[in-house]
Structures are given as C-alpha cells and as structure tokens.
Amino acid sequence: MTTMLAARKHFSVAVDWKQRTIEQWLEQYGAWLLVDDHYVNLGVSSTLGHLIDQEAGVIHADFRRRSLPRCNISVFEAMAIEDMLEHVHQTESSKVKQWLKVVTMYYIEGRPEVDIAHKLDTSMYAVKRDKMMGVLRLATRFKISSYLTD
C-alpha cells in the first residue's frame, strides 16, 4: 500500500489528458466507480448482485437514469481524476463547488438534469448553466479539451 502511494504521480502529469474530453473523463470515472462496487452509493455493480440483493430483501437506491459508457480507464487514471476533483474542492470558491456538484451529479453519478433540478430545488436553467460553468472551469483551469471549447 505504501509503495502505491509513494509512486502516485501528481494528477496533472499522471494521465495523458488529451486522450478524451473532460466530459468523457468524468463519465469514465463514474463508470469506473460502478465497477467492482468502488462507490456503493451509486447502486449495485452488477445485475447478478442486484438479483441476489433483491432476493435477500436489500434495497439499493439507484438514481441513475442515464447510462454511463463502458469503463475504459485504469485505476491510475481514475485516481488522477479523483485527485483533480479533490484539488478543485480544496482550492475553489463555494460558487465553483456548487457548479462541480452539478457536474458530478450529471457526469459521474449519471443523473438526468431534471432529477438534479428536483434534488437541488432549482430550475432546469440553473442546472444547465451550472453544468456548463463547471465543465468550462475544469477544462480551462487544467487545459483539458471539452465539447464546449472545441
């Protein structure tokens, strides 16, 4: 465990960020979280696990209504994305953190905009605006391409 942490590179150099857009990186991270139950709050990681839990009476709240792409990133790429998001949460203002909350809910958790608006008790316009502003902030701060900037 200590060798893995000692060898952990800074997120800005750990990954070739030019391979994908920021939106694709975030969706890939969301897909990675679902693999092998990396993030249990998003729901079950497999159909078999869901059936077993359902039979045992375990209820999982899975709010995804958008389908995330198949996971095509490594553990090291996922760790770099995680580090980038953690860095932003530590260094940005509360307004940017609100934008990133919407970005996280949409791209990583796979929630649709209407559900995000309902959960945050805000308008669809505010969700679309915050999602766009959050993506632009990540893309411009770390010089990662985006569908909005290309």
How large is the average pLDDT for residues 22-37?
87
Quick one: tokens of 113?
A: 């905009």
Cα separation, 75 vs 73, in Å, equals 7
Does 147 reside within a domain?
no
Does 12 reside within a domain?
no
Does 73 reside within a domain?
yes
User: Which among 86, 83, 73, 74 has a CA at the least distance from the CA of 9?
Assistant: 83
Does 5 reside within a domain?
no
Give pLDDT, residue 63. Answer: 61
Taking 80 as the threshold, does the pLDDT of residue 48 lie above it? Answer: no
Q: Which domain holds residue 38?
A: 20-142
Does 148 reside within a domain?
no
How large is the average pLDDT for residues 33-41?
63
Q: Choose between 108 and 35: higher pLDDT.
A: 108
Q: Choose between 75 and 22: higher pLDDT.
A: 22
Total domains, the chain: 1
Q: Choose between 41 and 52: higher pLDDT.
A: 52
- Those residues whose C-beta lies under 8 Å from the C-beta of residue 110, and which sit 6 or more positions away, are 27, 30, 42, 64, 65, 66, 67, 68
pTM: 0.78
Cα separation, 116 vs 5, in Å, equals 35
User: Which among 62, 103, 72, 73 has a CA at the least distance from the CA of 85?
Assistant: 103
